[in-house]
Structure formats: structure tokens, C-alpha cells
Structure 1
Amino acid sequence: MSRPSDYVDASTPNGSGREPVSQPVLGPVGWIRWAWRQLTSMRTALLLLLLLAIVAIPGSLFPQRSSDPNGVTQYFRDNPDTAPFLDNLQLFDVYSSAWFSSIYILLFVSLIGCIIPRTRHHWQALRQRPPRTPVRLERLADFRERTGVAVDAGEAVQSARKLLTTSGYRTEIYTQTARGGQESVSVSAERGYLRETGNLVFHSAMVGVLLAVGVGGGLGYNGQKVVVEGQTLVNTLLDFNSFNPGRFFNTDTLAPYAVSLDSFEAVYETNNLDAYGQPIDYTANVTTTLPDGESAERTVKVNEPLDIAGTNIYLLGNGYAPTITVRDADDRVVFTDSVPFLPQDTNLTSLGVIKVPDGLDTQLGMTGFFYPTAMRLESGAYASSYPDLVYPVLTLNVFQGDLGINEGAPKSVYTLDADGMEQIAGGDSDTAAIELMPGQRSELPNGLGSITFENAAEPDAEVVDVTGDSAQPETGDDAAEDAGADTSGAPATEAPATDAPATGTPAPGEDATADATQAPANPHGGDGTAASGASSTAEGYSGAVKRFASFDVHHDPGQLWVLVFAVLVVAGLITSLLVPRRRVWVKVSSDGEGTVRIQYAGLARGEDPALGAAVAELDRKHARELGLPSDDGAVG
């Protein structure tokens, strides 16, 4: 059987085969219009939003130069082969990379392209009259009717209009004449435009969030500073350990103020043995000073930043900063400072570096561990069994030689490059590592001078000379491994990490004493182990070692606007989900017997499961207004 001659696939009469399909040719303007429509479609906007979330993942997997420049340096040191390749992919600058910015800008344009035409259409819809009443309301699913009603038609229509207006509907009265010449009067009502308004507010607020984040990032800054008790943070560029300004931030506009760290308080769990030593609270007590000389005592806690001069100061981390004094052979002070030691575990076993570049016959470098509550393991290495000062011990390995700081290249204060230096104490040297407790002093090898571990709580107390009295512990890499410490240190500008809560840390004196041997002699009494349930401020050592706090100073001028737009996003979303879009009609017509017929009907624009109940409720209220029985003559 052959196909009809006019079938689309049929051969042409001359047998030349199928006729080619003629398609319109898109010129340059047509292709631009097509690309714009694709970009501004809601499907594309959702795809770009999902893609933006996916490409942001590397920002949490790799250290970023904008927030952790020292982490990037450390990553290059630890991964010299893969780091350059990842850097070429801009994985250390994810949020300022070309590919992330492209997606961000495309999403921004797509949202604007969606919003503008929809806003124009919505504005036109708001100004239009409600649509005319359908001729046959009975065809609608939600329909009710009353017949034989003895009321005036005009009164019934006005009463229905009043009810609908008070219910939030926009109303319009129409007069219609049916084919048979029968005249009817109806009220056309609609509401729910707030749903589309909420939708537009949601999308506009999303654009606002993107703008606020971009502007805030460009005009804001982040600065990190490690502050020891008794020291001051001044909000100037030179005082920060690291400073990350936005692209458009002017450092000359830094708000002038100073924040002094008066004291740092740490509270640890001592009652629950299963959680012994876990941190409960950290409090940095500070004094703020403004340019006019006004001072105030404030506090900074975890997740409770200090708000001052348009900046927020967050508490990031904390640890111990032993006060060290080095004297030459003639007992002249050549170095004295409170040196931050970086925590290596939950019990604050801490690693630090001391550098003495001047004042002695040779430059000195010392690497050491500080143990707030020292105990000796079976291997001979020390470890800390509790994060507070119960039995503090400082061990130091000493190197002499060139520190490499005279070459002009920046060096980290938390690491010591011992290549080319001679170890004169600890390790494989002939001299034992130096062990000190607060208020003790020891001679340096080769008659170079002496080193004192100052007691910060009793600076005027008599110093005890312990040269040669301490048994040499296992130090260096073996000690670090036994203590769970990281000997790599951290770059100079890196803020020490917050010590995380310990889980299942044994109470000092319980598991600790099971595999611990006698610690060095305690000049204040005690045997080197802390009793179970010991106070977090053991008598004799409370405040003996200063603590440091790591602060992050954050300024974001778009922060408030982000909050405002975020609230609008939520409000717009809730409105667009909860407000129904519907149309309702009430038609009054004569039935030819001196009475009227009243019809009620509704139509939903989308899902509206409550529409039927709304039409029924309108029927009942209208009947009460007209003085009719609520169910008299009502049919579905």
C-alpha cells in the first residue's frame, strides 16, 4: 500500500526523493538572542548555582592564600612535586580564580536576566482588571449553586463583592447577556499575586547576597595576630602577623585602636574522669583603647567576637608562651621574650623555637618542647597528661652557627633550619638537653652564658640554678614522635591552632603513672605526677607561664547587607510557597420565576488543595449575608 501523495515523507512527483526541510537561518542577532534566552532561563540559573557549589569544594580541601597563606607555604614544602601543578590550576586561589569568577558572573547575569522580564510582566498583571467571568461556571471542578433565591440581584452581587474584597481579592463586576437574551451580573475576583511578588523578592535578594558578598570581600580585610598576655594588638598594617586585604581596600583607612591582652583564662573538665582535661571555656580579658583615649575592659570568647570600630575580633587559638632570658658569659641580658609555643596535641604539648641572633660569640638556635603537666613515658620521652600548669617542664636542644637571617630572606619564627649549624646540647651531642621549670636557670654549653625560664607569676623570686641536675630525656625527632608532636613547626605568620577537646584523656596520676617514671625534682614540692582530680590551677604554678591568644581581625562592610538580603531570601521563599494563586467568581442571574440563581466557582493557578473549601466557605458566608440558610439549595 502506497502512502498518500501529500504525505510529508512521500516522494515528489518527479521522483527526486524527499523535499529538504526548510529551516530559518539565524543571523548574528538571532544567535545572540538565542544565547541570551538560554542563559536567562531558570534551568540555566539552577545549573549554574549547582556548578558554583561544586567548584567551591576545592576551597575547603586545599589551603587558600586569601585566608591561610602559611598553609599554602607549608603545602609547597610538603608536596614539592604536586603543588606547582595545583597552583597552575588556581586551586590555592579558588575564590578569585578565572573559572570560579566566570561561573559567579554568569550566575549573576542569569539571575538578573530572569528577574527583569518577570518583574515587567508581574507589574503589568497587577495593573490589569480581573478576567471576565466564564459563561459556563458549572464546567469548573470547584462549583456550587443556589437556585430559587428570593433576593435582589444587585444586592446579592454587591454583598458578594464586599465579602471578596475583605478577603483580599481584587474584584470587578461584569454584566453578560447569554445567547437566549438572559442577562446576568457577576463578580470576578482574583488574589495571590503576592506569590509571584515573593518569588521575585527571593531571586532579587539572591542577587543582593551575591553583590553584598562581592562588595564586602573587595572592601574588607582579614588580619591575624598572636598576642601574649601583657602585649597589645594595634590595628596597623605593620602589627599583624598576616594581613589579607580585599582587592579595593585602602590600608590607610584602618580604624585606629589598640587591644591589650590582660589575661587569658581556660577552664578544663576535672569532675568527669571520662572527659578529664577537655576544655570547657576560653576567655580572653582585654582592654580596648580608642584614639580619644577612651578605654574599656572587654572579653573575647569562642564564637563571641569583640566588636570595635567596625571590626570583629575573633578568638582563634591559644597556647603557652614561656618567658626565656639568655645572658652572656658576663651575665648581661642579650635576649628576653615570651616565645609562643605551638600546641601539638590536646594536652598542649607544645613545640617552639628560640633564636638568639646577637649578643653572644655565635648565633644560637634552640628547639624545644613545653609540657604543662610533664610525665615521662617508658621510652624516656616526656609527654603532657593535662593541659593546665600542674607540673610544667621545658626541654631544649641547642644549636650554634649561622641562623641564615642575615641574608635578607624572610624566615619563620616557628622553624629552625639547622643545616650548617652545630648541635651543642641534646640529640647526639656530648651535652644533655636542657631541662627547666619556671624559676630555674641553666648554663649554656661551651661557656656561652646561661638561659633562664622565668616564673611569670613571681618575677622577683630567687632563681634556682639546675645546671647538670636534670637527667637527659629523649629529645629530637624520637621525643616528638613519642609525644605525638609535629616537628615541622609552622610559618611565622600562622596563628597557632586552637587546641581541640581531648576525648578520653586519662586523669593525671591514673593511666599516666602506670607507664611513667619519676620526673625531674620539683623545687616547689611534689613528685612530678598530678593527683587525680587536681585543680586546674595547681598551687605554685598558676600563672607561672604566660599564655597567648591568636586573634583574627575581620572587617566586612557588606556583612549587614548580607544579613538583610538573607532575611529577604527566606521571607520571599516562604511567601512564594504558602500564598495560593486563585480566581473566584460569583454569578447572579434570573431564573424567569421571580427568583435568582447564584453560582459560585473557583479556579487555581497551580496546586491549591484548599480551593474547594474556600468556595464552600464563600457560599456559606454569602448566604448568611443574604439571610439564607447556610445549606439551603447548595449543590456541588
Structure 2
Amino acid sequence: MTVVEEKPAPAPARRPNAAWALLRNSWRQLTSMRTALILLFLLAIAAIPGSVLPQRGVDAQNVDGYYAEHPTLAPILERLGAFEVFASPWFSAIYLLLFTSLIGCIIPRLRDHFRAMRMAPPAVPARLDRLPQHAVLTGTPDADAIAAVLRKRRWRVAVRGDTVSAEKGHLKETGNLLFHLALLAVLFGVAIGSWYGWHGNRLLVAGPDNAFCNTLQQYDESGLGARVDASDLPRFCLELTDFQAKFLATGQPESFRATARVDGGAPRSFSVNSPLRLDGANVYLLGHGYAPVIKYTDRYGRSQTTTAPFLSVDGMLTSEGVAAFPDANVDPKTGARDSKLQVAFEGLYLPTAPDTAPYTRSLFPAERSPALLLFAYRGNLGMDAGIPNSVYKLDQRQVTSGRLARIGDGKLLRVGEKWTLDDGTSVEFLGTKQYATLSVRYDPGEKPVLASAAVGLLGLMLSLTGRRRRVFFRVTTGRSTLVEAGGLPRTDYAGFAEEFAQLVKDVEDRDSEGPVNGRTV
């Protein structure tokens, strides 16, 4: 009787974990070189608005100017983060994804490259005549002599009996990896600067009365890194003592140079491309303009003088601004202030005014014929409501509601001229002071980014100039010695045929000099 053994039932197939499979495939896609290139391209595109549009962290005044020129478009761009591109969530998302993708790409390639560097060149193929380059040597060199010639020309050599294998060009992959590591270091340096850096912008009028100290409250606009507190800012005070601007005959700027005094010390000069370097911060010169000095005498004979920075609106430094006197017309007997008698002057400053009307645009940015076109307003300036307003413009809501009324027509004043208003009060144009727009910044990632960029450039040069190639030699002995050579370029290399021919010639020439004992690798 035949006994039939029953085979055990096959185990049911194990169903893969769907969540794990999705996570694994997503990681593979993210860390692929194709994804890294796409993310790098997206990062470059995302940085375009930061280069084209004014950025609040660099120059808040230009952002305000953009709002004035594009009142409909600017709020939409603000919601999209276009005025703070490099701090926006969508830019940070691309940045972090690229950072992760590069790490996932580089680590496996580093491992494979180190393994390839430590391995000996591969064995000689069986059919050398099938390689792109092939030759039969006329001399009778031995393997050691061939290896000596190759080593002298910096080839990595392996001698296996009567065969010689050699390769060259690993610097190509080394440069490629060096470039990607440098790119990773650049991203890391930018992140360090974002975490531990800070910046503050300040419009600083020349003179000791306008000096400021390095505190957040004294900046027009400021920003701190995620790991920086206000108490971490270095302590120093800065006074703008002088500003010199040179212009070409066409009105284009030639040079800007500011002089500042730090903590009461000796004046120090700095310019646009040469910042003022302090202990823990750098002071950059962003722009400059004029601040008219205006004196107002109210109905009680009390005079007030203000220096009002005006913002330039064109390349000829035609400037607009406001000089406000909220404490004017205070009754000296009672000390009561009538909010309906506050005064402000909206003005247009022309460094070089034309000789005849219309006085709407300066003819040259330097002060050759300065003039100030003023428009007077009286009423409630709206400063007591606690609502923040621009110091460079009147609150148009007060004008529209009638709480602030314009007084007569405008008046063009030259330096030293006075304008008497309808109620007997007067305003006088005393002259101007220059101001500079400064950006005080600290970026600890600046030097690492510079060093990484230099290393990346070196890696790129190595990657572009490196050529991976291999050559093989086989010495066959018998009735006669036969030396066969073959060459194989691992990358596109138009000059490999000439290099291979020269290498074969060098081996033949060395053979004519006699045998040389080589070293087996």
C-alpha cells in the first residue's frame, strides 16, 4: 500500500502594511535626485519675489512706498507673504523639503563613493578588443614596468599576475559630492542666520540730538531670530555726524559716504559696499534723503521747531513729508490745548527747484536751489485717538471727515523765507539736514555661507573637469610576448583617444629603457 504524505498547506501571503509602503515610497521619491533638482528649481523661483519686491526686513520704507503706488495690489501681495518672502511659510516649506531631500541623496552616494575609492580597479576583461580603445604594443614590457608608468601618471593601479588594471577620475564624483555638501552647508548657514540673527532699520537724521541706542524701541522696524531675545542685543549708541553724496551730471548717484560716531568715540566712515563693523553687529547704508527744518510760531507767539524727514519719490530726490505741530496754540494762561487748533504742514521738498512754476519735480538730487512747497492744515490731527498713523503722511480720514481742514493755497519757500497764515501764525523754512537710512544687522550664518559657497565652487570645478576612465594591459607569454591594451571612458570624454594613445606610447618608450621593478597594489 502506498502511503501518500500530505503536504502542509502553504502559509497565507503576508499583506504588506499600506501605511509603511506609502511612507517608504514617499521617502524614496523625496530623496531622489530628480526631486532635489525640482525643489532647487522651485526655491530659485520662490526667491524671485524677494529680489523684485521690497522686503520689510530690509527696507520697510520701500514697502510703504509700494503700498502708496499700488494700493490695490499691495494688500494681496501682503497676504501672500510677498513682502517677507524668506520668512513666509511656503518658502520655509520648500527650504525644509530641499534640505531633507539633499541629505537623503548625499548619504547613500557618500557611502558608495568611499567604497569605490577603497576598492582596487576591476580585473582585466577577457576581450580587450571589444573596448572603445584597443592597441597591441610592439615592445615587450612586463606588468611591473607597465604599472610603474601608470603610477607615475597618477593612475590607481592593480597588478594581478600578468595583467594590469588602472583607473583615474574619482575626483569627478568627489567634486560632485563636495558641491552638494556645500549646498547643504549653505542651507544650514542660512538657517543659523535665521535662528540666531537679528536686524533693525532706522532713519537717522544727522546731529547729536538724533542719536539712537541699540534697543528695539528705537528702531523703525526690527526683527529677531527665533532664538534671540531683546536683551541679547549688543549695547552701543550711534550718531550720524555727516553724510556726503556725489552725483553725475545726469543726476545718477556716484558715491555715498556717511560718517558716524559710536559711543561718543572718533567719527568712522562707511559706505554702501563697506559697512560699519561693530562688535556684534554691522551697520549698512541703504539710502539717504533730506529733512527740512521748519519753525512754526503760533497765535500766542510760542515757536516750535521740528526736523521732519521727507521720503524721496524719484531719482532726483523730490521728497514728500509732513511736519506736524500737535502742541501748537496752547493757551499759556490756562495750559489748555484746543485739539481743533492743531497744525500740520504737508510738503514737497525740491533740492534743486526750477526757476518758474510748476514746482512739482526737482531738477537735480543735490541741493543747488532748495525750495519747500508747503500746504497748511488746521484742526484735529487725530493723534490723540491712539491709532497708529504714518509720520510721513496726514491721516486722510481726518481730512475726509472735515476735522482737519486745509488753509488756503500752498506756498513755495526758499531757505530763510517765512509764510504768515490767515490767523497771524507763521511758518519759516530754516534749511535742511541730511539723513541716512540704516540697517543694523547681525547674521552668524554669513561667514559659513561664504565659506560653503567657495567650497561649492571648488567642487563644481572638480566635477566639470574630472573624467572617469579605465585602462587595462595584458601580457601574454609563449613563443613570443604579446602585450595588449584596452581603454574605457566611464563618462563622455572627447580627448580619451589621444590620452590612451599617448599612454601606450609612454609604456613602449619605457620598455625601450629596460625593465623596472614595480610595486604590486
Same fold (TM over 0.5): yes
**Aligned residue number for residue 558 of structure 1:** 445
1:599 and 2:479 correspond: no
Aligned residues with identical type, % of pairs: 38
2:214 to 231, 235, 247: 235
* Alignment CA distance shift 1:318-1:446 (3 Å): same
CA distance in 2 between counterparts of 1:83 and 1:425 reads 32
Secondary structure of 1:384's counterpart equals coil
Contact residue 216 and residue 559 of structure 1 kept, 8 A: yes
Which residue identity is paired with 1:224? Answer: N
- Give CA-to-partner distance per residue, 1:587-606, whole Å, 9 cap, x none: 2221414xx22222211112
Contact residue 306 and residue 323 of structure 2 kept, 8 A: no
Which residue identity is paired with 2:443? Answer: D
> What is the TM-score of this pair, normalised by structure 1?
0.70
**Aligned residue number for residue 262 of structure 1:** 241
Q: Structure 2, unaligned stretches of length 5 or more?
A: 1-12, 331-340, 515-521
**Aligned residue number for residue 634 of structure 1:** none
**Aligned residue number for residue 340 of structure 1:** 309
2:128 to 137, 145, 150: 137
CA distance in 2 between counterparts of 1:267 and 1:86 reads 35
**Aligned residue number for residue 308 of structure 1:** 278
- Give CA-to-partner distance per residue, 1:89-123, whole Å, 9 cap, x none: 44454433333322222211111111111111111
Structure label with greater radius of gyration: 1
CA distance in 2 between counterparts of 1:624 and 1:601 reads 18
Contact residue 220 and residue 556 of structure 1 kept, 8 A: yes
Contact residue 376 and residue 383 of structure 1 kept, 8 A: no
Structure-to-structure mapping, 1:418-497, within 5 angstroms: 418-419=398-399, 420-423=402-405, 425-427=407-409, 433-447=410-424, 449-455=425-431
1:414 positional shift: 0.2
**Aligned residue number for residue 519 of structure 2:** none
After TM superposition, the structure 1 stretch with the greater mean CA deviation from structure 2, 137-146 or 84-93, is 84-93
**Aligned residue number for residue 338 of structure 2:** none
CA distance in 1 between counterparts of 2:449 and 2:361 reads 47
Contact residue 59 and residue 201 of structure 2 kept, 8 A: no
Contact residue 284 and residue 300 of structure 1 kept, 8 A: yes
Contact residue 222 and residue 243 of structure 1 kept, 8 A: yes
1:404 and 2:378 correspond: no
1:559 positional shift: 0.7
Contact residue 380 and residue 404 of structure 2 kept, 8 A: no
* Alignment CA distance shift 1:25-1:578 (3 Å): same
* Alignment CA distance shift 1:91-1:351 (3 Å): closer
**Aligned residue number for residue 48 of structure 1:** 39
Structure-to-structure mapping, 1:316-355, within 5 angstroms: 316-333=286-303, 335-355=304-324
Contact residue 67 and residue 244 of structure 1 kept, 8 A: no
2:232 to 245, 249, 253: 253
- Give CA-to-partner distance per residue, 1:255-302, whole Å, 9 cap, x none: 2223322211122334xxxx3x3332222122333xxx6x34322223
CA distance in 1 between counterparts of 2:406 and 2:354 reads 25
> What is the TM-score of this pair, normalised by structure 2?
0.85
CA distance in 1 between counterparts of 2:82 and 2:404 reads 40
Contact residue 291 and residue 433 of structure 2 kept, 8 A: yes
Secondary structure of 2:459's counterpart equals helix
**Aligned residue number for residue 356 of structure 1:** 325
2:143 to 148, 151, 157: 157
Structure-to-structure mapping, 1:146-185, within 5 angstroms: 146-147=137-138, 149=139, 156-175=142-161, 185=162
* Alignment CA distance shift 1:52-1:74 (3 Å): same
Which residue identity is paired with 2:501? Answer: A
1:202 to 156, 168, 179: 179
CA distance in 2 between counterparts of 1:279 and 1:92 reads 26
Which residue identity is paired with 2:486? Answer: A
- Give CA-to-partner distance per residue, 1:174-203, whole Å, 9 cap, x none: 12xxxxxxxxx1221112111111111111
Contact residue 57 and residue 221 of structure 2 kept, 8 A: no
CA distance in 1 between counterparts of 2:270 and 2:167 reads 55
Contact residue 395 and residue 434 of structure 1 kept, 8 A: yes
Higher helix share: 2
1:25 positional shift: 6.1
1:244 and 2:235 correspond: no
Structure-to-structure mapping, 1:8-87, within 5 angstroms: 27-60=18-51, 64-67=55-58, 69=60, 87=78
CA distance in 1 between counterparts of 2:261 and 2:76 reads 46
CA distance in 1 between counterparts of 2:266 and 2:365 reads 30
1:416 positional shift: 0.9
